[in-house]
Amino acid sequence: MPIFKSFQAYDMFARHVRVERRYALDYDSRAFLDDVKQAARARAKTLPTGHQLWRAQIGSESYDPEIWEEIEFVSPLPAKRMIPDPKLVGDGRINPRGIAYLYLAEDESTAIAEVRPWLSADVSV
C-alpha cells in the first residue's frame, strides 16, 4: 500500500518550499514530511558490528619511482584524502557547500556508481 497520498506529493511539496514558503509549511507539506518519516522508518536497517562499508572518490595518485623512470604506477588516493574536507566540498545531493557528508555504500560497485565516473576515470575505493 502506498504511503504517499498522491504520485505528485513530492512535486507539490517541492513547489511549496521553492516558490511559496520555505520555513512556514502548510498542512499538506507537513503531512508529506510525516509520510517521508514513516517511509524512512520502514526502510531503516541496523548493520552488524564489523559490517564493511565502501567509499569511492574519483582520482588516484600517480608517481614515477626514481629507479623505474619509464614505468608509471597508479595508486589509490591516500586515506586522508578519502575523508571529506569541508574546505573542498561543493554543493552535493545532500550537502550544501562547505558542509561535508560522508557517503558510504554497502558494496564496492554501488560506491563506484555513486561518484559517476567517466569512461576510463581513475576511481579510488
DSSP assignments along 5-27, one per residue: S-TTHHHHHHHIIIII-SSS--H
pTM: 0.62
Task: Please tell me the distance from the alpha carbon of residue 82 to that of residue 53, in angstroms, as a whole number.
Answer: 13
Q: What is the pLDDT along the chain (125 residues), one digit of tens a residue?
A: 567 788 888 898 888 888 887 778 888 889 899 999 988 888 888 999 999 999 999 988 876 555 555 566 778 988 888 888 888 777 776 777 788 888 899 999 999 999 899 998 899 99
Q: Where are the domains of the chain?
A: 9-43, 57-124
CB atoms within 10 A of CB 35: 17
Cβ pair 54, 102 in contact under 8 A: no
Q: What is the dihedral of CA 68, 73, 78, 82, to 10 degrees?
A: 170
